[in-house]
Structure 1
Amino acid sequence: MARLRSTVDAKGRVVIPAKLRQRYVGPLWITASLEEGYLSCYNEEHFVSVRDELLSYSGTDTDLRRFRLRFVGEALEVNPDAQGRITVSSELWSLIGVSPGDEIYVTDMHRTLEFCQAKRFDDELNETMRVSNIDVSKYEIDL
């Protein structure tokens, strides 16, 4: 399973797919993704590793400070409930244009879960994300 369509409920909750719950047990961290229009969900070990690395660099670089502010400053700690649901703040949902009742995609990237508004993803897929349009020739990937 790579991508699941889900609906954000009235409380801002989304279900972590049952097949992924063993990898994504609480606490989890939700924050802005490097990819515009996405939120990323990290398990605690991975989030702490990335956070600590970011914080180890000097704060004199403007871009790094902005990124740290977004990545660390926006991060929200969540714990899945008995049904595997996590509650994401309305502030984080608003970063990607999602409101209660909206459909989203939950995409398993094997180190993170990525949340994206379903309509945005579908539009991107139709316009620019066709695999045939992506040049990976600079990487030595044996497909």
Structure 2
Amino acid sequence: MFMGEYAHTIDAKGRLIIPARFREGLGDRFVVTKGLDNCLFVYPQHEWAALEQKLKSLPFTRADARAFVRFFFSGASECELDKQGRILIPANLREYARLSKEVMVLGVSSRVEIWSRERWDEYNATAEENFEEIAEKIVDLL
């Protein structure tokens, strides 16, 4: 399981150090894709395979299902760690998530998320304001 939040920087070539706590769970090769809320989702191979199977079962006759699958898979890229524990984030994914120098790397249960620091701070401030209201709505779902 992935948890915690870590502040990191991306170098001029688009390389990002993956926190040591996440490296073992991700393995040497993993998938980075466009996530929701303009962040990137990072999945270990086994989680990606399970998600792929679920998405394959969506009815291709539904426009919303096709659009989501297209969005999710077209942005996907397999990445691997270099000897310094870094990955090269493709330019299209850096652009999508508006990643510049400062980023946040978050553990979110079965995946890792990569956010621009600015976007994370904005999102987090809004989420904190609504945390209790959100909790009231979803606790009954558990």
- TM normalised by structure 2 equals 0.88
- 2:97 equivalent in structure 1: 96
The answer as to 2:65 corresponding to 1:67 is no
Distance in 2 separating the partners of 1:116 and 1:92: 11
State the Cα distance separating 1:84 from its structure 2 match: 1.1
- The alignment partner of 1:58 has SS state of coil
Residues 56, 12 of structure 1: alpha-carbon distance in 2 compared, 3 angstrom cutoff = same
Letter in 1 for 2:11: D
Residues 7, 67 of structure 1: alpha-carbon distance in 2 compared, 3 angstrom cutoff = same
Distance in 2 separating the partners of 1:125 and 1:19: 22
Distance in 2 separating the partners of 1:125 and 1:56: 33
- 2:17 equivalent in structure 1: 15
Task: Figure out how many residues of one structure are paired with residues of the other and give that number.
Answer: 137
The answer as to 2:108 corresponding to 1:109 is yes
Q: Name the % identity.
A: 28
Structure 2 residue ranges without an equivalent (≥5): none
Letter in 2 for 1:11: K
| 1:129 equivalent among 118, 127, 130 | 127
Distance in 2 separating the partners of 1:25 and 1:83: 14
Conserved in 2, the CA contact under 8 Å of 1:40 and 1:112? yes
State the Cα distance separating 1:140 from its structure 2 match: 4.3
Letter in 2 for 1:3: E
- The alignment partner of 2:8 has SS state of strand
Question: Quick check: which one's helix share is greater?
Answer: 2
Q: Structure 1 segments of 4 or more deviating over 2 A?
A: 123-126
- The alignment partner of 1:53 has SS state of helix
State the Cα distance separating 1:114 from its structure 2 match: 0.4
Distance in 1 separating the partners of 2:44 and 2:54: 16
For 1:71-86, list aligned pairs within 5 A. 71-86=72-87
Letter in 2 for 1:7: T
Question: Quick check: which one's strand share is greater?
Answer: 2
State the Cα distance separating 1:103 from its structure 2 match: 0.5
